[in-house]
A and B are shown apart, each in its own frame.
Chain A
Amino acid sequence: AQSVTQPDIHITVSEGASLELRCNYSYGATPYLFWYVQSPGQGLQLLLKYFSGDTLVQGIKGFEAEFKRSQSSFNLRKPSVHWSDAAEYFCAVGQYNNNDMRFGAGTRLTVKP
């Protein structure tokens, strides 16, 4: 069965600093990987996704993620964090148009002034 692990429950970074959120997955086949962001009391917004091709994926809001099959990882990065990036971030693994989509536990990002 597929699963997703986000090792960091809470991360605090200073505004302007770089950011990396970790995500490890377990999946028998080639995974479809996603990163979502959730602001308090809101739904989820898709940041980026990976299905195949270039392992470095560019997303919205300046985020990118790199798929590393050898490490079963799909870490999310941003070179310079803005205060508005403070939110909850979820990594997910699944299949296209399939209900078997699994979410990680989430990483809460706090941005210090």
Chain B
Amino acid sequence: GAVVSQHPSRVICKSGTSVKIECRSLDFQATTMFWYRQFPKQSLMLMATSNEGSKATYEQGVEKDKFLINHASLTLSTLTVTSAHPEDSSFYICSTAREGNYGYTFGSGTRLTVV
């Protein structure tokens, strides 16, 4: 099956700094990747859809200037949380769907803590 690698798994940063999260598809080319956010004991909320070679599509209510998404290659999408604040602390998960393979594959997630 498809393999998605997400890095880092855990990061602690100071308020006001930026953090980059990487999502890589290891064994196939992913033209589309999805970024989710999950608050403690809650479900996943889709933040944005990352499209290789074009601008990301953000869900309503998600600040595109705060959550910068770059999908520069067919195997890598990055999410940068800019000027992070404690309320940005959350679990961020990426996923992708392999062409012809029904069902999304998820990364292992990134626990972001902003202090």
**Footprint of B on A, CB under 8 Å?**
32, 34, 36, 41-46, 49, 51, 90, 96-97, 99, 101, 103-106, 108
Contacts and interface: CB of A to CB of B under 8 A. Distances in A.
Interface residues of B, number: 26
Interface string B50-89: 0000000100000000000000000000000000000000
Contacts of B105: 46
- Which 9 pairs between the two chains have the least Cβ-Cβ distance? A44-B106, A43-B108, A99-B49, A43-B106, A103-B43, A43-B109, A105-B43, A49-B103, A103-B44
B99 interface: yes
A90 B109 contact: no
B95 to A, nearest CB: 8
A101 B105 CA distance: 13
A42 B44 contact: no
Contact of A106 (B34, B42, B104): B42
Contacts, number: 52
Nearest to B104: A101
B102 A45 contact: no
Interface in B95-115: 95, 97, 99, 102-109, 111
B43 A45 contact: no
Contacts of A44: 44, 93, 95, 106
Nearest to B95: A44
A94 to B, nearest CB: 8
B46 interface: yes
B25 interface: no
A113 to B, nearest CB: 24
Contact of B103 (A46, A90, A103): A46
A69 to B, nearest CB: 19
Interface string B22-48: 000000000010100000011111100
B32 A97 contact: yes
Identify which of B46, B49, B103, B107 gathers the most chain A CB atoms within 10 Å of its CB: B103
B44 A96 contact: no
B93 A96 contact: no
A100 to B, nearest CB: 8
